[in-house]
């Protein structure tokens, strides 16, 4: 028997017929916070133009790290302080921006949950139009791995 991605607690069939506990989590930190005024733009080619005052956070992760570009323009999100923050504009090579207008506690250095038990990898893959395997195998060597054992 080959367990494959089940080793990480992901049901490869996305069937919910087997009870697996996700054990992988991807975190990225907030590099900066900016306030936007209507007409200000974000991302490559001014892809997102603010239509209202907004507060955005720049996340230290991009497509070179394995975060799919397909998650840009409001398709993907991360979790900051227990709340979803939508991706704004195009996912850049080394970063992407999220809307934190309604999450006032966010500050530089905070950890954003990209995927984990709180934001399932299967959900992220579905939003990106792919499978969990592609997300997991696409995480580049630039991303630091931390392994720990719970006892």
pLDDT value of position 22: 82
Domain assignments of the chain as residue spans, ordered by start: 25-138
The CB density around residue 50, as the number of other CB atoms within 10 Å, is 18
pLDDT value of position 15: 65
pLDDT for 89 beyond 70? yes
Query: 25-138 falls under which CATH superfamily?
Result: Lyase, Ornithine Decarboxylase; Chain A, domain 1 (2.40.37.10)
Angstrom distances, CA of residue 58 to CA of 4, 20, 28, 29, 133: 33, 32, 10, 8, 26
For the residues 10-25, what does the mean pLDDT come to?
78
pLDDT value of position 10: 85
pLDDT digits (tens, 9 = 90+) for 26-81: 999 999 999 999 999 998 888 899 999 999 999 999 999 999 999 999 999 999 99
pLDDT higher for 10 or 106?
106
Place of tokens 């054990």: 23
Give the model's confidence band at 147: pLDDT under 50 very low, under 70 low, under 90 confident, else very high.
Answer: confident
């Amino acid at each position: 028997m080959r367990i494959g991605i089940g080793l990480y607690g992901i049901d490869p069939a996305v069937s919910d017929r087997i009870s697996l506990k996700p054990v992988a989590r991807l975190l990225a930190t907030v590099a900066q916070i900016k306030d936007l005024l209507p007409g200000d733009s974000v991302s490559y080619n001014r892809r997102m133009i603010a239509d209202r005052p907004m507060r955005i956070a720049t996340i230290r992760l991009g497509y070179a790290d394995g975060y799919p570009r397909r998650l840009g323009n409001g398709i993907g999100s991360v979790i900051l302080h227990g709340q979803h923050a939508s991706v704004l504009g195009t996912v850049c090579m080394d970063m992407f921006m999220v809307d934190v207008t309604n999450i006032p506690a966010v500050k530089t250095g905070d950890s954003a949950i990209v995927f984990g038990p709180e934001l399932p990898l299967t959900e992220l893959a579905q939003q990106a139009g792919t499978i969990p395997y592609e997300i997991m195998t696409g995480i580049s060597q630039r991303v630091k791995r931390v392994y720990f054992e719970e006892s």
